[in-house]
Structure 1
Amino acid sequence: MFKGSIVALITPMDDKGRLCKKSLKKLVHYHIKNKTNAIVSVGTTGESATLNQREHASVIMHTLELADENIPIIAGTGANATSESILLTKNLEKSGISGCLSVTPYYNKPTQKGLYLHFRAISENTDLPQILYNVPNRTGCDLLPKTIIRLSKLDNIIGLKDASGDLSRVNQIKPLVKKDFILISGDDTTALDFMQLGGQGVISVTANIAAPYMTQMCNFALQGDFAKARLINKKLTILHHLLFQETNPIPIKWAAHYIGLIKHNTLRLPMTPLLKKNQATLSSTIDSINLYAK
């Protein structure tokens, strides 16, 4: 279940900034229909930073209910306080989620020892499978290969989402971790290259609006047919870049609203709506690919 196209799901909100359950239902069913391999609920793309703990858990539980066991749900449980990550994780232990995605603590800038002890403490307080998430350009710290290799020896730390942008890390990590340790890209623009080097999939922002394409691309890559995978990826390349022309999830939320997947283009401050000049370029790209809610 932790391979292929996994969507970093946006959290749809109504015009007052509350969870829009109707839009969430549409999103979940869109991914079931288009055979997305799994959903990450309330990861960083899901605006975890601006949801309180009650809301955080509520969105995950609503997503689980709507999925109705038709698609695995991975919960975002990262925080910059170890105790908060442990609490989020423990509160979900009997919920039915398939695993947790835990981002490195942001702003704190822990040392490698601090990062190791942080993830070890979470691991020791749960039996849920744990996927490490490294995204240094957003968190201010970098989980280095030597620390990942050390953490991989812990039983329930099963994989890594790597959004460092450094493709050389696949070859640094893969030979020195357990054979079943999962390496997943966290960067749509380099995901196919990551998979060709030995990664098993991508936790994707683009999949929010291009689920069938991302599923097909990852399936071809996992089958070793990289020629066909590259044809699909070529079609999506400009889209990958435009979805990060402003800070994620600003563009992807606008795009999901544009194609009719969510009712409102609502973000919580300090996030702001996509600039009009960027809406024009993104909409023309979406139209050229013929993306629409289906």
Structure 2
Amino acid sequence: MDKGQHILVIRAGALGDTILTFPAIAALVAPGNRVELLGTLPYTELAKTPGLAHDVHSIDRARFRAFFDERAEDTELLAFLEAFDLIVAWARLPLLGVKADRLQLRYVETSPNPPESVHASDHLMASVRALGFRAPVAPPELRFGDPGPLLDRYGLRPASFVAIHPSSGSPKKNWPPHWFAEFARCATAAGQDLLWIQGEADHGVVSRLSRAVPGPVAAELPLRDLATLLASSAAFIGNDSGVSHLAAAAGAPTLALFLSTDPRQWAPRGRSVRVVEAGASPEAVWGFTLVLKKSPY
């Protein structure tokens, strides 16, 4: 394998989709290559950390329209692409092959969707192994700075609180709010502080739950700040959502609740993750949390 390659990775998707690419990106970087990620902002910004992408780009920029529309002017796109030695696309771009062939660029195009029962990260890693790269020993862990100011903002101490995100991008994935309320009561009865996590579409459910079981609300934080805060938690619990993937990638002990999606394909990856499927009681899941908190790295 030649070293010092300049590699473009293309993966447009949501927060969880983006985070699940990070182990494969780390494999591409490891031999000393320069890797840039083309995808969806702000999620791709998380990859700008040591051991992952050296730079990131938004696929929504006008010059990348020429990947999809043969009538679009492609001069700027071709000038961008010619800087690379290899393109690894975990996407279906109708005109990628046409543009790469014009520049005589080596490229690999793989569907981002894993086969049945195959985890998405393993599926992407297989495409990287086929190029001769080695998988990292463990998923890369996201670290973005000192959590102190964020903890002070919410009146919390490190490893003293359970972070709860009771929503996701789809109602079909969400466990019922009353279940989260009962889980939160289990946590507070055990002496744990709470931190409710609120995204842009979560105001209603988080407002109701934080009134029912009081605790500070971290509302619509920038992703790097949210990752830093979650890394300081005693544990995180949430549905199959991008925030659950972020918590796991930040190193938080993570309980991921699955309802309508397959955890064999989409479970978060991290140092301490447990998947819980439908039917578990809040009390039982609180017991799982205690085990996760004590698990060694």
TM-score bracket, shorter-length normalisation: under 0.3
Higher strand proportion, which one?
2
Higher relative contact order (CA 8 A, sep 6+): 1
The TM-score, its normalising length taken from structure 1, stands at 0.28
